[in-house]
């Protein structure tokens, strides 16, 4: 069965997973999360109670959180590109940098993206 990825292209967290999928040529179906895709939004709400994306569906298994999805892909759908080093110390370094970027950099950058896509009359200054 083909993997299903519920995602939006403006999300840096979704971009991380898309890179992992494309780098290893893993077949998947993108379930776009946007207002015009009502069915995807309804399915997504059932899969992600906290309404956080991305969400990967692999058969009956639902995998949440971009970093966990990437490690899941490495375990269950490996390809030629190793995304997390096999060496424990190197993997720890990768995980630390991943958390720093997600928690302190990308979260702040998302504010600018969200502000930019809002109507001009309600944007932050």
pLDDT at 125 (0 to 100): 63
* Domain 3-121 class in CATH: alpha beta
Mean pLDDT of 46-73: 95
In whole angstroms, how far apart are CA 38 and each of 24, 41, 96, 118?
30, 5, 36, 20
Residue ranges of the domains in the chain? 3-121
pLDDT, tens digit (0-9, with 9 covering 90-100), for 99-122: 999 888 887 777 777 777 778 888
Please choose, from the candidates 61, 80, 72, the residue with its C-alpha nearest in 3D space to the C-alpha of residue 1.
61
The size of the chain, in residues, is: 125
pLDDT at 92 (0 to 100): 97
Q: What is the C-alpha R_g of the chain?
A: 16
What predicted TM-score, i.e. pTM, was given to this entire model? 0.85
CA pair distance 61, 104, nearest whole angstrom? 30
């Amino acid at each position: 069965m083909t993997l299903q990825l519920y995602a939006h292209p403006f999300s840096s967290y979704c971009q991380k997973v898309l890179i992992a999928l494309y780098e290893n040529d893993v077949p998947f179906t993108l379930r776009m999360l946007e207002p015009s895709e009502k069915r995807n939004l309804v399915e997504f709400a059932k899969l992600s109670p906290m309404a956080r994306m991305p969400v990967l569906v692999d058969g009956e298994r639902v995998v949440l959180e971009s970093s966990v999805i990437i490690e899941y892909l490495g375990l269950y759908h490996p390809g030629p590109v190793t995304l997390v080093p096999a060496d424990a110390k190197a993997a720890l370094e990768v995980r630390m940098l991943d958390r720093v970027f997600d928690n302190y950099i990308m979260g702040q950058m998302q504010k600018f993206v969200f502000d930019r896509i809002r109507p001009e009359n309600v944007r932050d200054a």
